[in-house]
Amino acid sequence: MIYLDNSATTRPHKEVLDTYIKVSYDFFGNPSSLHTLGMEAEGLLTKARTAIASQLKVGAKEILFTSGGTEGNNLAIKGTASHKKSKGRHLITTEVEHASSYETYKELEQAGFEVTYLKVDSDGRVSLEEIEQSIRKETILVSIIHVNNETGTIQPIEKIGQMLSEYPQVRFHVDDVQGITKVPLNIKKAKIDLLTASAHKFHGVRGSGLLYVRDGVRLKPQIHGGVQEMQMRSGTEHVAGAVSMAKALRIEMEKAKEGRADLVKLHSKLIHTLPKIEGVTMNSPLDGVAHHIINFSVDSIKPEVLIQSLAQKKIYVSTKSACSSKLAEPSRVLLSMGKDNHAASSAIRVSLSYETTEQEIQFFLQEFKKIIPTLLGGKK
């Protein structure tokens, strides 16, 4: 099997699963319970929070556990909008956000908020000047994805954060689901107020995520019924999920020290070989991108047909975002970058991890070259 859909989800590391099972079985107490089992569970939760904070170089009390990226984005955006609406109702984001952010903003518009959706250039990158020009006295939140989940485009988060620090009334939220462990980001230097991450994107277990909430930033809870997670996210804590996420983050941060250089080599192999194949057009920019995401289109072949043909060879890739891949419409992200309807409707995404090998990429390219003429021949 050659798995090249790591931006959709990653296979959990075996040691991460071992930790998840052990904590689930041996430390099953509710962290809110006052007896020994509860206190043991609470102790593990505290250790996981501290370990994650250490990896991200933030304070332990700034880490809030969630169920994943979608909840984290919803809580950051809705929680800020609800908490600060008396100060203003203007929000700023981009046209290329992940659906969990983009659709949240669409819903807030229905609730009476005004949203500015910033355009991007042909590389999918937002303009720092346009962000600043869009800020008003009623602006309370700017939300920008760090690494685009479809194309790998990296936004200039540190520059944006430095600029926004001149506007203390504006909160800065970053969706770092695709960037964490792959593209370095100094949260404090970038002056980020809120940052979302999800465990299953870095070989953790699904159903676990985190939201960094800078000390002093308040959110209106979106889930009610308890005082867990600094009174911002009610519900019995997922202790096994948090502890195994801390282990996955540590493992991937360690692998990143050498793994990023390997990803650069694999990315270079793909972007220089794919365009030479009949009908292939690259959608991801060549520069300023995360090296684990490559997006391209193939002329005259439906993406679902190509994906299934590769799957028969036990090679797994995807179309656009996994959250939207079953929807037939063209990619909103690629259309925003100025790609035509055909390119936006026929995009393929190959996404790597530190587990991906050069041999796997070579085999993928070899089989891909064989499949294209076969599929095109069937159309003649």
- Among candidate residues 212, 153, 219, the one with its CA nearest the CA of residue 187: 212
CB 135 within 8 A of CB 172: no
How far apart CA 174 and CA 176 sit, in angstroms, is: 6
Site of tokens 């809120």? 194
Cα angle for residues 187, 62, 125 (degrees, 5° grid): 30
139-145 vs 171-175, strand pairing mode: parallel
Contact 322, 160 (CB under 8 A): no
Query: Which two tokens mark 291?
Result: 């090296």
Round to whole Å and give the CA distance between 368 and 188.
43
Identify the CA nearest to 5 among candidates 294, 344, 365. Answer: 294
Tokens of 349: 């995404």
Among 2, 17, 230, 323, which one carries the catalytic annotation? Answer: 323
Bridge partner list, 203: none
d(CA 321, CA 148): 10
User: What type of residue is 83?
Assistant: H
Indicate if 26 belongs to the active site.
Answer: no
> What's the DSSP call for residue 329?
S
Q: Which amino acid is at 230?
A: M
Residues classed as catalytic: 323
